[in-house]
Amino acid sequence: MHGSVYVLGTMDTKGAEVRFVVDALRQRGVRALAIDVGTRSDATHPADVSLHEHAALRSLDRGAAVSRMAEVLIPFLVDACQRGELAGVIGLGGSGGTALITPAMRALPIGIPKIMVSTVASGNIAPYIGCSDIAMFPSIVDVAGLNAVSMRILGNAAHAMAGMVDSGPLETASRPAVGLTMFGVTTPCVDAVRTSLEGRGMDCLVFHATGIGGRAMEGLVQSGFIEGLLDLTTTEVADEVVGGVFPAGPHRFDVLATRSIPCVLSVGAMDMVNFGAMDTVPEAFRSRRLHVHNANVTLMRTTADENRRCAQWMAPKLAKAAGPIAILLPEGGVSALDAPGKPFYDPDADAVLFETLETLLRGVGHIRIERVPAHINDPVFSQRAVDAFLALRSQPPRP
């Protein structure tokens, strides 16, 4: 094991619990440090490192002080990780402590062990985890003193962390990692691309394009795990622009401006916006062309105007990319529902999407747009995607 496990907590209210976890780790032979992230200086137990004085909190009220401490904690952990001094992180807290600690955990690379023992771990934890690999441990009782239950939970968290850092990462074959986006209606295409690239020795990571999927993929790009993208299913953009339940988020594609990697992009499933069960579809859309995918998913066909707006949302972001991009436009349809005889078949609406992208990105040197006379799920399209990606990979890096 390289580095130490940092045990984070507010030592003015949770000092005994933090020291208990530190001692449990040290009994397992794991180097551990107690890190005080409290906003007050009256700690009940000594910390190995206190961030209180670094945060300049004296003139701030409690809410502002907590926000300031959260801001200080992020570079503190990231710098320790970059120096090789951080083996893993355990955080202890209630709702406030969890909100303070987890942003810094999310800033750490995927694979660094992260455990958050929290009173809110049994509820909606999506805002705390985001796209990271934080393991949330429900504290069962409040993190407020040592008792028969809390010691068992805290001990389990310490032993789990010890197992993570003692074993280290699993040995895996070194293969270039490639990110792919997929939806049920683009599965034949992405499966064919994945099979082809795996046959060429690549490690294909497929992400379900449900909003969080695209963000998770781009988080791995930012961390340096992914060396190339086949972002073939960009349906999350339609939900972002129109107001569906699987939105891309405002920062989708922005990572391409910071990482020079090859990217083959298409407009898979941009013929649809996603909602929940039929009775959850907003009233404004009830008269639109709807398709019940299952009892919990209702799809709405995008209009020509919505497709134009989607292209206008995407184009400025793609224009800022640092690496080469090939955009493939399937003239035969963009999803399994967008084909002759299928409920979302609308070549005119697709044409507006294609033409707007071509117009807005014409002349952008690092982007090549190609129309493919095939449906997105046809073998000829998947083969073209593979060929385009291999061609981009063979290009020398852009200065």
Give the tens place of pLDDT for each residue, 177-202: 999 999 999 999 999 999 999 999 99
Lowest mean pLDDT among 11-15, 77-81, 338-342, 355-359: 11-15
User: Same topology for domains 4-167 and 177-394, yes or no?
Assistant: yes
Average pLDDT over residues 232-254: 96
What is the pLDDT, as a whole number, of residue 397? 65
Structure confidence at residue 396 (pLDDT): 72
pTM: 0.77
Rounded Cα gap, residues 131 and 110, in angstroms: 9
Q: Is the pLDDT of residue 239 over 70?
A: yes
Tens of pLDDT, residue by residue over 138-179, are 999 988 889 999 999 999 999 999 999 987 655 555 788 999
pLDDT of res. 58: 62
Gap between the Cα atoms of 45 and 98, Å rounded: 20
Measured CA to CA, the distance from residue 202 to residue 195 in angstroms comes to: 10
> Long-range contact list for 72-76, CB < 8 A, 24+ apart?
73/8, 73/37, 73/100, 73/101, 73/103, 73/104, 74/103, 74/104, 74/107, 76/51, 76/104
pLDDT at 168: 62
> Would you state the pLDDT for residue 54?
63
Give the other-Cβ count within 10 Å of 247's Cβ. Answer: 22
User: Does residue 399 surpass a pLDDT of 70?
Assistant: no
Write the burial class of residue 235 (CB in 10 Å: 0-12 exposed, 13-18 middle, 19+ buried): buried
Whether the Cβ atoms of residue 361 and residue 367 lie closer than 8 Å to each other: yes
**Per-residue pLDDT tens for 328-355?**
999 999 999 999 999 999 999 999 999 9
Which pLDDT band holds residue 122 (cuts at 50, 70, 90)? confident
Q: Indicate the fold that domain 177-394 takes in CATH.
A: Rossmann fold (3.40.50)
The CATH classification of domain 4-167, taken from the options 2.40.50.140, 3.40.50.12020, 3.40.50.1260, 3.40.350.10 = 3.40.50.12020
CA nearest neighbour of 376 among 302, 299, 267, 291: 267
Domain ranges of the chain: 4-167, 177-394
Q: What is the pLDDT of residue 170?
A: 54
Label residue 64 by pLDDT band (50, 70, 90): confident
Number of Cβ atoms within 10 Å of the Cβ of 96: 16
Both tokens of 245, joined, read 């339940």
Summarize the confidence of residues 79-96 as an average pLDDT.
Answer: 94
The Cα 363–Cα 359 span in angstroms is 9
Q: Using DSSP bridges, classify how beta strands 86-93 and 367-372 pair: parallel, antiparallel or unpaired.
A: unpaired
Is residue 1's pLDDT more than 80?
no
Confidence grade of residue 131 (pLDDT, cut at 50, 70, 90): confident
- Please report the beta strands in the chain, taking only residues with DSSP state E, as ranges in sequence order: 4-9, 32-36, 49-50, 86-93, 114-118, 135-138, 177-182, 203-208, 228-231, 263-266, 272-275, 290-294, 297-301, 325-330, 367-372
Q: How many residues does the chain have?
A: 399
d(CA 142, CA 135): 18
Q: Does position 268 have pLDDT exceeding 90, yes or no?
A: yes
Calculate Rg over the CA atoms of the chain. Answer: 24
> Are the C-beta atoms of residues 87 and 3 closer than 8 Å to each other?
yes
Q: Can you tell me the mean pLDDT for 366-375?
A: 97
